[in-house]
Structures are given as C-alpha cells and as structure tokens.
Amino acid sequence: MYYLCRLIFILMTHTFYKYQGTGNDFVIIDNRKNTYNKKDTKLTAHLCDRRFGIGADGLILLENDENSDFKMVYFNADGNQSSMCGNGGRCIVAFAKFLNIIDKTTSFNAIDGLHNAIIKEGSVELQMQDVAVIEDHNTHFFLNTGSPHHVQIESALETMDVKSLGAKIRYGAPYNEAGSNVNFVSKINDDTFAIRTYERGVEDETLSCGTGVTAAAIAMHHKGEVLGEQIILKTQGGELKVRFEKKGSDYNNIWLIGPATQVFKGEI
C-alpha cells in the first residue's frame, strides 16, 4: 500500500511558479492544501535539477499559518529542508501578493521566526532577524543571519575559483559536517561592496544570496569598512541593499532590499 500511495503521489501533476531575486532562483508551490510531500527529498531535488527538472537554487512552499499571513517552508536544491533564505523570503512575499493573500505589507513565519515585509514598486523589503553575535577570527567573520555565514575579504574577486575555495571552507574546520555558507567580499567604495557566495545545499556558487549579503553588510560595518547604516552589495545577479540600526554591539531593524520577479508558471 505504501509503494502504491507513493507511486500515485509521484504521478501527480504539480502547478509551480518560478521566481528569481537577483538571479537566486526558486521553484515556488502553493501548498495551502498540503498536496506536496515534504518528506520526499528525491522529488524536491528532481524539481530543482537544472537538467532533468525545472531548475532552481531551492524550492519554497507557501502554507497556511495560524499566527501570520502565511508560512514559508524552504528546501535546498539537494532536497533537504534548510535554514532561512533571504532572497527566497522576498520572492515568496511577491508570490503571496500575486495570490492576493496580501497587499503591500505582510508578516509571515519561516524556520527562524516571524518576518515583516513591504512591497514597493520594483522591490521587496524583507526584515531579517537581529544579529547580536559576530565572531571575528582575524582572517574572516562568522555570523548567523537566519543561516550561518563565513565572510572574508578578497582582492581578486573576479578571477577567484569560488566553487573550489568555497567548498574547501564549507567542509573544513570548524564547520565540518554542519557546514557554512561562504562569502567573499571586495570593497568598491565607501558604501558599496562586490560579493560572491558559495551556498551549502546547492554546493556551488549562486548568483546571489540574501542572508549572505546581509551577513557581509553587517560584517563590513562591524569591521569599520563602512560608516553608514545602508550598504549596497553587487552580486553576480544584480544589486541588493541592506539597511540596519546598530545599538551597542547589536544589529537591529535589519532589512534586505531588492527585486523579486516571477519568471514563469508551469506544471510538472
């Protein structure tokens, strides 16, 4: 009976939407009727596969939530449920607007707690969790912005092999099996930085990472590389902004700002 039920589920047709935020792309499914099997990691990985599936950096489910407008459930491209995704959060807000669940403001739940968001013409502003702990390891910083992030400054950002170096850091000590996302940052001017990111779960460089640019912005401010409380980050897929308030050693009222666009709708 189990195998028959699983076969029926596999043969189901799923309606999906493809969204991208500065090149960080996602398969998004309206799962308010709980039709998607969240335990089927092979199915999720298949949908994210760029050769045999739809192709995406991750899959996001929009679900009902008792205490907010909706719930975001995020899976990495390897099929496993993961920590918070900033660009994914901005994309699901745009999707909720498309479904007429929300208008221009929202509050939704994710794996790291409640998030507020504002939709403005051409952008989605997502409030991230506060950051109280920034580990300074001399050669790099480590902090959690909903997902764990290693941040280090590099001068030759354009020519570096992000996949190889990122994987070495991601799997090395002290991160080991749990792993960390890895960000390489280069300063352009007083308030602008270039960034390239290796994402765990994708196990490759992505064109953009929302929690990564948030971590980089805070790390660079903490290091004294920038004095203002709004920072521009140029990813491989486009430009994002991060604004925040620093109170003592804590970073509060952190907002990730940038475009979130529907690419296409399909069935699989």
Q: What is the pLDDT of residue 178?
A: 83
Q: How confident is the model at residue 1 (pLDDT cuts 50, 70, 90)?
A: low
Q: Please indicate whether residue 48 is annotated as part of the active site.
A: no
For the full predicted model, state whether its pTM sits above 0.95. Answer: no
> What is the reported pLDDT for 6?
47
- Our CA dihedral for 135, 140, 144, 146, rounded to 10 degrees, sits at 170
Provide the H-helix boundaries in 58-208: 86-98, 162-171
Q: Which residues lie below 8 Å from residue 49, measured CB to CB, with a gap of 6+?
A: 55, 77
Residue-by-residue DSSP string for 214-268: HHHHHHHHHHTS--SSEEEEEETTEEEEEEEEEETTEEEEEEEEE--EEEEEEE-
Q: What is the pLDDT of residue 2?
A: 43
Domains and CATH numbers, the chain: 2-119+260-267 (3.10.310.10), 134-258 (3.10.310.10)
205 contacts 174 by C-beta, under 8 angstroms: no
Question: Is residue 18 within 8 Å of residue 54, measured between CB atoms?
Answer: yes
CA-based end-to-end distance of the chain: 24
Mean pLDDT over 114-141 rounds to 96
209 in active site: yes
Chain-wide mean pLDDT for the chain?
94
Rounded to 5°, angle at Cα 260 from 255 and 265:
150
Instruction: Give the pLDDT of residue 126.
Output: 98
Half-sphere exposure of 162 (CA within 13 A, CB side): 28
What residues does 199 pair with on adjacent strands?
A: 204
Contact (CB, 8 A) for 267 and 13: yes
Give the Å distances, CA to CA, from 176 to 42, 179, 194, 200: 24, 5, 27, 12
Query: Helix 210-223 vs helix 86-98: angle between axes, to the nearest 10 degrees?
Result: 130
pLDDT tens digits, residue range 211-253?
999 999 999 999 999 999 999 999 999 999 999 999 999 999 9
